[in-house]
Amino acid sequence: MHDYKKLDVWNLAIELVTEVYRITDSFPKTEVYAMTTQIRRSAVSIPSNIAEGAGRKSEGQFKVFLGYAYGSSCCELETQLIISEKLKYIDSEALNILSKKIASIQKMIYKLIESLNN
């Protein structure tokens, strides 16, 4: 079992969630139950999957949840942000900043998975 609160990747993912919530506050009210909710859920699932995996009994289970955070959560979030930029809900600068954070998180997850493999 790992203390997820001490993991740099978990802390960076928490920062990303905070930024995503701030940015989606300005989305059109018609998106409250659609894009806004979906983006927030995707963002929240990144640190949540890291935490859930860290709380599992085996490193194999931890790696599975890290894979969820990497693939379905990070990739899903970035896709939704790209769609938001195309819809003009966010500007290209905001998309670029968030995409860089997502890429950093993905690299950190990959390195953590590699360290668990050794």
56-101 pLDDT, tens digit per residue, is 989 999 999 999 999 889 999 999 999 999 999 999 999 999 999 9
- 94, 23 Cβ separation under 8 angstroms: yes
What is the full DSSP assignment across 7-19?
Answer: -HHHHHHHHHHHH
Would you state the pLDDT for residue 4? 94
Q: What is the pLDDT of residues 4-25, one digit of tens each?
A: 999 999 999 999 999 999 999 9
Cα of first residue to Cα of last residue in the chain, in angstroms, is 16
| CA gap 50, 8 in Å, rounded | 11
Would you state the pLDDT for residue 1? 64
Would you state the pLDDT for residue 72? 81
- Distance set, CA 90 to CA 18, 20, 66, 83, 110 (Å): 16, 11, 28, 9, 28
Q: Has this prediction a pTM greater than 0.75?
A: yes
